[in-house]
């Protein structure tokens, strides 16, 4: 017999109101050590310790347990005209480590997530090559393979925050990002198979979807570290992430990571497509705009505590944690401030920073109810230091839309709640 | 060098018909433009039927859908209006994008001449050409886009060179740190969904 048990699902709203006691009746934050009497979760036999759980045939491909139901992608309706050419956000406030689970890794489409079978997939390489080629999916799997981990950050991540503090949560302010371990073929291998002519200075890459998302990439980058990827975090790409094949462009803005990639054309000049003229150009204060702002600069954010991840455990030891990344190379250091940037402590990197990949940091500290203005500041191996929003605005104004890598401030209040703020 | 690299003999040569079917991109120098033409007058009718429901009869935009016209001289304003006329540097991008990806939901359904006509109408909506203008592959490069000179190549490594620095660790700010802006005042963040609502 299989004994099933259910318990009350956690409610974020109830936590925020401070009204939720745990299922065992112990006040959240008190902990077993301060319990008035013996803990019935220990002293009473529980169903799960007596009966059995699910059989191995229950879940051929599993989803997270129901209690994690709030660790999901979220949409912000007012950001875009519809949900087809739109964005959603990874729940980075609730994750740890660096690998983003594919099922909640953010999406950005310009004409929706298309369904493209491996059998129907074709990749063309044409233009300034010795031999224009067509590959099937099976062809791609026969080339020598590479396997590397990189972050993909949307150029617009944090873009809503240019003019001020808008959205209340790390998921919304910093969640247009994911970090996956990719397997695939080096783009260089495929280009060499076709034979790039000396006058080939650019590649133009486009997807199989209606938006096509065509972008121009300089040949140096195309021959350096780009990957034609077909696996992410060990398995096939998710449909919404480009199944069966996408382009990986390490360190560069997510828009260039063309999904459902179908054609790569070697060219003498850039196409200056819609996605590199109208969009993904960054308007400066004088009305001129930067184009070809490809690399994502060093950036970080405290993921907990944060507005969606308040301190609920009372005073005492507190883990401050977050993510740092840089498109220019490896993260070498992250500093954390609790007083809005007056003083800084250097945090601990969970693992040495990897080039152009998310890096997890921790600051193990003590909190006794004092208000904090929490900030993090990333440094990368080139010596670049993550700037404040005001430093960016002084150079760019407020209408760049893209590439906002400013230092984020969370105001942690005496009750442990946190809020997105700007400070002087 | 790529020419000397090892080849694996995987894949097959692309046929000319296949390249012609997929290679539609058009560069600012006009490379890739098909032979054809279309007038503002024809464009107005085609636009009205295929585009106006989202972009407005005058390309001014409906609701939250993109505005294709207007915004002249607003790029340095607090809220710039970036349209084909006020912002886009090259006409090639208009033709290329409309032909490949519009109308939204029914892309690649218009003839080359239709796309010339729509492009002519968008130019007219932006007061860049007169109402009797006919756009073709032959006069395409004669059209001057107002913001063609409005773009610079990424200059962060020089303009933002000061960000490569040794950061301050102590006494980094004078006076008291104060809150200057709060997200909860705007209150535009979606309510959390998920476990709580189930």
Query: Domain residues of chain A, as ranges?
Result: 78-290, 299-421
Rounded CA gap, A354 and A324, in Å?
Answer: 11
Which of B183, B186, B188, B192 is best to mutate for the A interface (most A CBs within 10 A)? Answer: B183
Q: What is the number of other CB atoms lying within 10 angstroms of the CB of residue B141?
A: 14
B-chain CB neighbours of A210 within 8 Å are: 101, 105, 107-108
pLDDT digit string (tens) for A88-141?
999 999 999 999 999 999 999 999 999 999 999 999 999 999 999 999 999 999
Which of A77, A193, A382 lies at the smallest CB-CB distance from B8?
Answer: A193
Residues in chain A: 424
State which H helix or E strand residue A345 sits in. strand A345-346
Torsion, Cα of A174, A175, A179, A184 (10° steps) = -120
Would the CB atoms of A195 and B65 count as touching at under 8 Å?
A: no
In Å, how far is A3's CA from the nearest CA of chain B? 23
Q: Is A209 in contact with A110 (CB distance < 8 Å)?
A: yes
Q: Do A9 and B195 touch (CB under 8 A)?
A: yes
Do residues A320 and A310 make contact, with C-beta atoms less than 8 angstroms apart?
no
Contact across the interface for A287 and B192, Cβ inside 8 Å: no
Verify whether the Cβ–Cβ distance B12 to A133 is below 8 Å: yes
How many Cβ atoms from other residues are within 10 Å of residue A208's Cβ? Answer: 21
The answer to whether the CB atoms of A126 and B23 lie below 8 A apart is yes
Contact B96/A66, CB-based, under 8 Å?
no
**Residues of B whose CB is below 8 A from A196:** 2-3
Q: How far is CA A136 from CA A216, B11, B30, B143, in A?
A: 23, 7, 31, 41
Among A110, A109, A75, A104, which residue's Cα sits nearest to residue A91?
Answer: A104
Contacts of B88 in chain A (CB under 8 A): 277-278
- Work out the pLDDT band at A16, boundaries 50, 70, 90: very low
Smallest Cα distance from B1 to chain A, Å:
9
Q: CB–CB of B181 and A165 under 8 A?
A: yes
What's the start-to-end Cα distance of chain B, in Å? 59
Out of A78, A262, A382, whose CB is closest to B188? A78
Please answer yes or no on whether A343 and B171 come within 8 Å at the CB atom. Answer: yes
Q: Which chain A residue is nearest to residue B68, measuring alpha carbons?
A: A278
SS3 call for B39: strand
Domain over A78-290 is classified CATH 3.90.420.10 = yes
- pLDDT at position B71 over 50: yes
Confidence band for A18, pLDDT divided at 50, 70 and 90: very low
Residues of chain A contacting B104 with CB distance shorter than 8 Å:
84-85, 111
Closest residue, chain A, to B14 (C-alpha): A133
- The mean per-residue pLDDT over the stretch A256-271 comes to 98
User: Distance (Å, rounded) from C-alpha B144 to C-alpha B105?
Assistant: 30
Write out chain A residues lying below 8 Å of B7, CB-based.
192-193, 195
Contact A423 B167 (CB under 8 A): no
State whether residue B93 is helix, strand or coil. helix
How far apart (Å, rounded) are the C-alpha atoms in residues A215 and A207?
10
Q: How far apart are CA A14 and CA B195, in angstroms?
A: 11
> How much is the pLDDT for B190?
85
Testing the interface with B: which of A218, A264, A271, A299 to mutate, by most B Cβ within 10 A?
A271
The pLDDT value given to residue B170: 97
To 10 degrees, the CA torsion angle through B70, B75, B78, B83?
40
| Sheet hosting strand A215-218, strand order edge to edge | A215-218, A202-207, A261-267, A122-127, A133-136, B12-13
Q: What is the pLDDT of residues A217-227, one digit of tens each?
A: 999 999 999 99
Fold of A299-421: Immunoglobulin-like (2.60.40)
| B101 close to A210: Cβ distance less than 8 angstroms | yes
Contact predicate A105/A180, CB 8 Å: yes
Which residue does chain B place closest to A65, by CA atoms? B195
Q: Which residues of A touch B160 (CB under 8 A)?
A: 387, 395
Average pLDDT, integer, range A242-253: 98
- Cα separation, A333 vs A109, whole angstroms: 33
Q: Which of A130, A94, A89, A129 is nearest to A106 (CA)?
A: A89
Dump pLDDT digits (tens) for A158-192. Answer: 999 999 999 999 999 999 999 999 999 999 999 99
Angle of helix B112-125 relative to helix B40-50, nearest 10 degrees, comes to 100
pLDDT tier for residue A34 given thresholds of 50, 70 and 90: low
Least confident of A3-17, A264-278, A334-348: A3-17
Which of helix, strand or coil describes residue A249? coil
Neighbours of A368 (CB within 10 A): 9
Q: Which residues of A touch B105 (CB under 8 A)?
A: 84, 111, 210
The pair of three-digit structure tokens given for residue A136, joined into one six-digit string: 């099937």
Averaged pLDDT, A203-209: 98
| Percentage of the residues of chain B whose pLDDT score is greater than 90 | 89
Give residue-wise pLDDT tens across range A21-30. 333 333 444 4
Option in A81, A165, A211 nearest B101 (CB): A211
CB distance B10 to A134 below 8 Å: no
Distance from C-alpha of A23 to C-alpha of B196, rounded to nearest angstrom: 15
Peptide bond into A305 cis (omega under 30): yes
CA dist., res. A350 & res. A330, Å (int) = 13
- What is the residue-averaged pLDDT of chain A? 93
Could you identify the residue written with the tokens 């080359």? B112
Q: Which residue has the higher pLDDT, A49 or B6?
A: A49
The residues with which A348 forms a beta bridge, in sequence order, are A362
A337: nearest CA in chain B? B169
Contact A249, A216 (CB under 8 A): no
b/e sequence B160-198, b meaning 16+ C-beta within 10 Å: beebeeeeeeeeeeeeebeeebbbeeeebbbebebbbee
Considering only alpha carbons, which residue of chain A is nearest residue B194?
A70
- Cα(A386)–Cα(B164) distance, rounded to whole angstroms? 9
Across-strand partners of A21? A27
- Asked whether the beta carbons of residue B13 and residue A133 sit closer than 8 angstroms, the reply is yes
Which residues in chain B have their CB less than 8 angstroms from residue A292's CB? 153-154
Other residues' Cβ atoms within 10 Å of the Cβ of residue A364: 11
Segment A378-382 mean pLDDT = 98
pLDDT at A15 over 60: no
If we measure between CA atoms, which residue out of A101, A396, A407, A355 comes closest to residue A251?
Answer: A355
Mean pLDDT confidence for A147-164: 97
Q: What is the mean pLDDT of chain B?
A: 93
Q: DSSP state, B33? A: P
Report chain A residues whose CB lies below 8 A from the CB of B155. Answer: 290
Chain A residue closest in CA terms to B161: A384
Residues of B in Cβ contact (< 8 Å) with A104: none
Cis peptide before A350 (omega within 30 of 0): no
Residues of B in contact with A166 (CB under 8 A): 183, 186, 188-189
Tens-place pLDDT, residues A264-289: 999 999 999 999 999 999 999 999 99
Residue B117 CB contacts under 8 Å (≥ 6 apart), including other chains: B38, B39, B40, B42, B43, B46, B135
Confidence label for B191 from pLDDT (cuts 50, 70 and 90): confident
Question: Quick one: tokens of A377?
Answer: 């500041």
Contact (CB<8Å) B163/A385: yes
Pairing of strands A409-412, A372-380: antiparallel
For chain A, helix (H) and strand (E) counts, in that order, are 8, 24
The 3-state DSSP class for residue B160 equals coil
């Amino acid at each position: 017999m299989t004994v099933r048990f259910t318990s009350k699902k956690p409610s974020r709203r109830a936590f925020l109101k401070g009204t939720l006691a745990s299922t065992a009746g112990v006040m959240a934050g008190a902990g077993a050590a301060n319990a008035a009497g013996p803990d019935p979760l220990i002293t009473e036999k529980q169903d799960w310790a007596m009966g059995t759980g699910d059989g191995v045939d229950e879940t051929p491909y599993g989803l997270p347990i129901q209690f994690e139901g709030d660790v999901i992608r979220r949409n912000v309706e007012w950001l875009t005209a519809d949900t087809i050419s739109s964005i959603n956000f990874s729940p980075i406030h609730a994750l740890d480590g660096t690998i983003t689970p594919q099922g909640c890794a953010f999406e950005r489409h310009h004409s929706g997530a298309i369904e493209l079978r491996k059998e129907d997939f074709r990749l063309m390489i044409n233009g300034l090559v010795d031999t224009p080629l067509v590959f099937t999916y099976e062809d791609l799997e026969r080339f020598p393979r590479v396997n590397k981990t990189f972050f993909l950050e949307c150029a617009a991540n944090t873009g809503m925050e240019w003019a001020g503090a808008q959205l209340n949560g790390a998921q919304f302010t910093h969640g247009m990002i994911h970090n996956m371990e990719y397997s695939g073929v080096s783009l260089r291998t495929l280009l060499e198979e076709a034979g790039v002519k000396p006058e080939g200075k650019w590649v133009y890459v486009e997807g199989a979807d209606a938006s096509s998302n065509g972008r121009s990439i300089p040949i140096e980058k195309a021959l350096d570290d780009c990957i034609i990827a077909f696996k992410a975090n060990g398995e096939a790409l998710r449909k919404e992430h480009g199944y069966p094949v996408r382009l990986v462009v390490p360190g560069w803005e997510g828009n260039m990571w063309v999904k459902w990639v179908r054609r790569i054309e070697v060219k003498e000049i850039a196409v200056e497509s819609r996605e590199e003229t109208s969009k993904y150009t960054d308007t400066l204060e004088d009305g001129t705009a930067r184009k070809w702002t490809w690399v994502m600069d060093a950036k970080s954010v405290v993921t907990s505590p944060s507005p969606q991840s308040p301190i609920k455990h009372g005073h005492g030891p507190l883990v401050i944690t977050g993510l740092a990344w840089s498109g220019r190379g490896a993260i070498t250091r992250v500093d954390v401030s609790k007083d809005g940037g007056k003083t800084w402590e250097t945090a601990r990197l969970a693992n040495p920073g990897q080039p152009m990949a998310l890096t997890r940091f921790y600051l193990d500290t003590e909190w006794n109810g004092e208000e904090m203005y929490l900030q993090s500041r990333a440094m990368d191996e080139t010596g670049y230091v993550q700037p404040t929003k005001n430093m960016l605005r002084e150079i760019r104004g407020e209408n760049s839309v893209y590439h906002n890598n400013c230092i984020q401030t969370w105001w942690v209040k005496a009750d442990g709640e946190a809020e997105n703020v700007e400070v002087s | 060098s790529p020419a000397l690299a090892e080849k694996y003999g995987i894949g097959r040569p692309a046929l000319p018909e296949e390249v012609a079917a997929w290679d539609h991109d058009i560069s600012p120098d006009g490379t890739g433009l098909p032979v054809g033409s279309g007038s503002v007058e024809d464009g107005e009718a085609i636009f009205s039927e295929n585009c106006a429901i989202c972009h407005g009869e005058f390309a001014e935009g409906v609701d939250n859908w993109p505005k294709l016209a207007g915004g002249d001289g607003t790029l340095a304003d607090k809220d710039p209006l970036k349209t084909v006329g006020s912002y886009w540097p090259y006409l090639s991008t208009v033709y290329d994008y409309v032909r490949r990806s519009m109308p939204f939901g029914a892309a690649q359904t218009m003839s080359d001449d239709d796309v010339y006509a729509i492009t002519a109408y968008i130019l007219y909506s932006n007061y860049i050409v007169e109402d009797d203008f006919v756009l073709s592959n032959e006069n395409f490069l004669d059209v001057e886009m107002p913001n063609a000179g409005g773009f610079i190549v990424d200059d962060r490594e020089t303009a933002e060179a000061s960000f490569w620095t040794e950061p301050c660790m102590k006494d980094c700010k004078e006076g008291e740190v104060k809150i200057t802006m709060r997200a909860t005042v705007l209150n535009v963040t979606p309510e959390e969904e998920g476990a709580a609502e189930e």
